[in-house]
């Protein structure tokens, strides 16, 4: 039996608006249907308040969005898209001369959640660190680079541009010049120190083959490694380690921060180690760490 769709009291208005969209932008039917659906929800809510669509003020639109946000199935991104539709509708009303103002100009958009940084578990990091073949000079170099990256939470650009003179193995620190030339000292940890020392003695001279370079981590051409080349190597080692998660240029840096917080480091310390100028940049990791702890609690606690 064919389903009968009841006509909506807003069909004529929606038809005019969607016809204008089609003429202006040539939007596909699915896109036009999305506009219709968004506006139908607004018009229905306004009608319940006794307000015609073209008479809505900023306070009404803001109240509608607040009403929609109460639905747990509606995410902030959907509300942001719906506000975009409402803005487009009111610009059309202005052009048509049916309004003398645009109430959406003062409507606050919903706050979109910041994308969480992709991280690796501690077991994933261990698998990645042990993936290079340390019986070869290049494998030993890669192991030393990965250990340094994870131990110090460096940006990839800081790692590949790290001069030999900036590393003090006797003090166990590296002098890093970050964004804007800002300088910071970062501890390397015993594991990273041992691998750097082994690489510098046993692998670096073999890779350079008599060439000279100020860079600590070098290629067979005698120069510093590029970011692109290093991330190609990381992806290769991750594949070898059986890690299927997508890797970004900051994956180990994110893991460094998250694992520190998981083990009780305070936020200010992590901020200093990462070289963040603003602590708000570092705070995103507290959420990642908190969610990880909640997952572990639920999995391992007898009353989780």
Give the distance from CA 99 to its chain's centroid.
40
Nearest residue to 132 (alpha-carbon basis) of 148, 146, 149:
146
Task: Return the residue matching tokens 């804007």.
Answer: 180
Residue 77 near residue 112, CB atoms below 8 Å: yes
Catalytic residue from among 179, 182, 197, 294:
179
Answer yes or no: 3 catalytic: no
Answer yes or no: 155 catalytic: yes
Residue 92, H or E segment:
helix 76-95
Residue 238 near residue 128, CB atoms below 8 Å: yes
Catalytic residue from among 141, 143, 259, 276:
276
The CA distance from 233 to 216, in Å, is 17
Catalytic residue from among 118, 175, 240, 250:
250
Answer yes or no: 81 catalytic: no
In this structure, the number of other CB atoms found within 10 A of the CB of residue 8 comes to: 13
Answer yes or no: 253 catalytic: yes
Question: What are the angstrom distances between the C-alpha of 264 and each of 117, 153, 191, 215, 279?
Answer: 19, 16, 20, 34, 17
Nearest residue to 196 (alpha-carbon basis) of 230, 248, 159:
159
Catalytic residue from among 60, 253, 254, 259:
253
Most distant CA pair in the chain: distance in Å?
A: 84
What DSSP character marks residue 245? S
The CA distance from 51 to 60, in Å, is 9
Catalytic residue from among 60, 155, 204, 259:
155
Answer yes or no: 89 catalytic: no
Question: What are the angstrom distances between the C-alpha of 206 and each of 151, 218, 250, 264?
Answer: 25, 11, 29, 41
Catalytic residue from among 35, 89, 150, 285:
285
Answer yes or no: 287 catalytic: no
User: So which residues are the catalytic ones?
Assistant: 155, 179, 250, 253, 276, 285
């Amino acid at each position: 039996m064919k389903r009968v769709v009841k006509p909506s009291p807003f069909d004529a208005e929606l038809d005019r608006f969607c016809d204008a969209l089609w003429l202006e932008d040539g939007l596909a039917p699915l896109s036009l249907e999305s506009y219709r659906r968004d506006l139908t929800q607004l018009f229905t809510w306004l009608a319940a308040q006794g307000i015609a669509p073209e008479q809505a003020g900023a306070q009404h639109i803001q109240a509608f969005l607040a009403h929609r946000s109460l639905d747990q199935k509606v995410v902030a991104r959907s509300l942001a898209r719906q506000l975009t539709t409402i803005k487009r509708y009111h610009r059309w009303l202005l052009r048509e001369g049916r309004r003398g103002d645009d109430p959406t100009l003062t409507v606050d958009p919903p706050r979109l959640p910041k994308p969480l940084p992709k991280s690796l578990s501690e077991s994933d990091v261990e698998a990645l660190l042990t993936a290079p073949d340390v019986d070869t000079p290049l494998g030993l170099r890669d192991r030393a680079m990965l250990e340094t990256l994870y131990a110090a939470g460096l940006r990839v650009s800081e790692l590949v541009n790290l001069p030999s003179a900036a590393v003090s193995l006797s003090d166990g620190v590296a002098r890093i010049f970050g964004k804007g030339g800002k300088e910071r000292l970062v501890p390397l940890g015993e594991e990273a120190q041992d691998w750097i020392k082994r690489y510098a003695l046993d692998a670096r001279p073999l890779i350079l083959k008599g060439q000279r370079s100020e860079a600590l981590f070098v290629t067979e051409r005698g120069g510093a490694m590029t970011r692109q080349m290093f991330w190609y190597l990381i992806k290769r080692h991750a594949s070898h380690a059986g890690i299927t998660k997508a890797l970004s240029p900051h994956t180990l840096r994110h893991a460094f921060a998250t694992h520190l917080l998981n083990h009780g480091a305070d936020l200010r310390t992590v901020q200093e180690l990462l070289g963040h100028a603003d602590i708000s940049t570092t705070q995103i990791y507290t959420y990642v760490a908190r969610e990880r702890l909640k997952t572990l609690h639920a999995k391992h606690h007898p009353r989780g």
